[in-house]
Chains A and B, each alone.
Chain A
C-alpha cells in the first residue's frame, strides 16, 4: 500500500519557501508553453475559419499561396463564361478576380511600420465572401480611392479610423467603412475595387480568381478540367480547404513554443530536482524508518514521485491560470504566406490547458526521479543513523 497522500501534502506545505519557488518556476514555464501554443492555435483557428466550401479559389499552377500567384486577364476571360460557374439573377458569372498588394503602413501606436494586405476585389467578390460584413460606414465606391478595413486592423494602424485617410506611395486613400470577418483571415485585410487597385499599383495581372460553381458536381468538373488543361496552367482549390492549409505561420510559432518550453523545462526539471534532493536529504532518517516499518523501495520511490508531480502540478495549474488572462487577446504577427500582418486571438482551449498541466507533471516526475531513486537506495541502517 502506498503512503498516504497527506504525508506528501504536508511535507510540501512544511517546506513552503522552496515549494513556492518551485511552483512559480514551473508556472512560468507552463504559462510560456501554453501561450505560445495558444498563439499557434489562434492563427490556425483564423485560417481554418476562412472561406466557404462552396467557392473555388483559382491560382497559378505551382504557386503555394495566393500572394505568389498571377492570373492574366486572358485566363480570366477564358474562365469567366465556363459552364460550371454559377450566375447571378442578372446572368453575371459569380467570379471575383482579386489582386493582392502589400502596403507598408505606420502603426497607430507609433511602434514603427508593418505590412498590411490590400485585396482588390471585383464587384462579385463581396457576394462570394458573405462572412465579411460591414459593421460601420459604407462599402467603397469605385474610382474614388476608397477602401474598407477590418475593425481589428483599424485598431492597429494609423489612418484606419472611419473617414480617416492614409497614404501609400503617391496616392491617399480614405477609409469609408469597417468590416468584421468573424475572426477569419479577412480580418487582416484592406479591401478596395480590384481594377482600381490594379491601376493604382500598376498591376497588369490579377493574383487569383474566386468562383462559385453551380453545384458540387460542377466544382469537381472544374477542378478536373483545370487539372487536365495544360494551356491555362491554373489550379483550383476549395476555398475553405485552401485557407485551412495556410497554417504555415503557426508552424514556426509552434516550433519556437516547443523550443522555449524544452529549454525552460530543462531549467524547471533541475529546479524540481534541487527541491526534491533537498527533501530527500532532510528526510533521510524518515525514509530509513519507513523502510524499517516494512515500506518497500518502490513505495518510497512512488511517494516521492507523487510529491514531485503534486508540486509541479500545482505549478502547472498556476501557469494555466496565469495564461488565461491572455485568452481572447488580439495580437498581430507576420504571416509567412503573405508577408503581411495577420491579426489573431490567443486561444487557450481546455485541451491546451490539459496539455500544459500534463507537461508540468512530466517536468515534476523527471525532476523527482533521481532524488526518489536515491531515497529508495539508501541503506536502511545508514539512513537511520543520519542526523
Chain B
C-alpha cells in the first residue's frame, strides 16, 4: 500500500480514450422541507472514468454527500440522467437497487458502521451472504480482503477491540469483498487520527491505482484530497471546477 499521496489522472494515457463508469447529465435533487423546496443538487453533469480516484470537495451543505449517495444508489435523483456502468440506476426499483448496490458498490463511512456484535470477519462477510457463494468460498474471500487491508490477524476481533483506524480498514475490506468496480467513501478519515487517516487513504489510493477500482471520496480535508487523481468542487449544489 502507498504511504504517500501520489496524485495522477486516469486520463493520463494519450493512446486510450477513457472509459466512463459513471455518467451524469443534468442531475438534480430537490428535497421538500415543509412547504419549501430545497435544491441539494442543481443540473450537475459529470463523467467519472474507470479506475479514477475522484475527490468531491466543498463546504457543508454543498451537495457533495448527496451526489455520492445518488451515484451509489442509496438515494434517487429528482431529475436528470444517472448511468453507472451503463445502467440507468434511477429506473431500478428498490429491490433491484439493493441487489445492484450489493454487486457493484463498496461503501466506506465516516463512522465505520460496523455491526458491533459481529467480529471483523463476520462484518466483512455480510455482503457475501447475499451472493450464491458457499461458506468455504466466502471464508476465503473474507481472508483475502482482510489480508489486503493488513488485518488478517484481527479476523476474530469485535469492533470494540480494535482502534478507529483498524475499524475503518475492516470497513474497507467489507467494501472490497464483493469485488465491486465502484468504491464510495464518505469522509472516511473524519474520525481518525493523522496516522490512521494516512493509512486508510493509502489503501483507497492503492485500490484505484493498483487494482483499477473507481474510488469516489467526499472530504473536507485538502490533505486527504491530495491522494485523489482528480478533485471536483461543489457549492450550493453546483459544480464549480
Contacts and interface: CB of A to CB of B under 8 A. Distances in A.
Contact of A289 (B72, B98, B103, B109): B109
Contact of B113 (A14, A285, A296): A285
Nearest to B115: A286
A385 B103 CA distance: 23
- Residue with the greatest number of chain B CB neighbours at <10 A, chosen from A10, A289, A296: A289
Contacts of A62: none
A296 to B, nearest CB: 5
Contacts of A295: 98, 130
A353 to B, nearest CB: 31
A7 B99 contact: no
Given A289-B107, A380-B75, 6 more contacts: A1-B129, A7-B115, A291-B74, A294-B102, A296-B95, A297-B94
Contacts of B115: 7, 286, 289-290
B111 A291 contact: no
Top 6 closest pairs, chain A to chain B, by CB = A294-B102, A10-B117, A289-B113, A294-B130, A1-B129, A293-B127
B52 interface: no
Interface string B67-101: 00100101100000000000000000011001101
Interface in A43-81: none
Contacts of B95: 296
B98 A7 contact: no
A1 B116 CA distance: 20
A4 B75 contact: no
Interface in A1-54: 1, 3-4, 6-7, 10-11, 14
B117 A14 contact: yes
B118 interface: yes
Given A4-B129, A285-B113, A381-B74, A293 B107 contact: yes
A10 B98 contact: no
B98 A294 contact: yes
B126 interface: yes
B75 A294 contact: no
B109 A293 contact: no
B98 A296 contact: yes
B69 A381 contact: yes
A384 B113 contact: yes
A294 B131 CA distance: 10
A200 interface: no
A10 B119 CA distance: 11
A300 to B, nearest CB: 11
Interface string A188-218: 0000000000000000000000000000000
Contacts of A7: 115, 117-118, 122
Contact of B98 (A285, A288, A291, A381): A291
Contacts of B98: 291, 294-296
Contacts of B122: 4, 6-7
Contacts of A381: 69, 74-75
A294 B72 CA distance: 11
A292 B74 contact: yes
* Chain A binding surface, main DSSP class: helix
Contacts of A285: 111, 113
A10 B113 CA distance: 17
Contact of A294 (B109, B113, B116, B127): B127
B101 to A, nearest CB: 5
Contacts of B109: 289, 384
Nearest to A9: B117
B106 to A, nearest CB: 9
A3 B118 CA distance: 11
Contacts of B72: 292
B129 A3 contact: yes
Contacts of B126: 290, 293
29 contacts: A3-B129, A4-B122, A4-B129, A6-B118, A7-B117, A7-B122, A10-B117, A11-B117, A14-B117, A285-B111, A286-B113, A286-B115, A289-B113, A291-B74, A291-B98, A292-B101, A292-B107, A293-B102, A293-B126, A294-B98, A294-B99, A294-B102, A294-B103, A294-B127, A294-B130, A295-B98, A297-B94, A381-B74, A384-B109
Nearest to B126: A293
A353 B94 CA distance: 42
Interface string B13-51: 000000000000000000000000000000000000000
Interface string A346-361: 0000000000000000
B202 to A, nearest CB: 24
Contacts of A11: 117
Contacts of A6: 118, 122
Contacts of B130: 1, 293-295
Best-surrounded residue of A3, A7, A10, A293 (most CB of chain B within 10 A):
A293
Contacts of A3: 129
A7 B95 CA distance: 22
A381 B66 CA distance: 10
Contacts of A286: 113, 115-116
A291 B99 CA distance: 10
Nearest to A286: B115
B48 to A, nearest CB: 20
Interface in A251-294: 285-286, 288-294
A95 B214 CA distance: 99
Contacts of B103: 294
A360 to B, nearest CB: 24
Interface string B50-73: 000000000000000000010010
A101 to B, nearest CB: 68
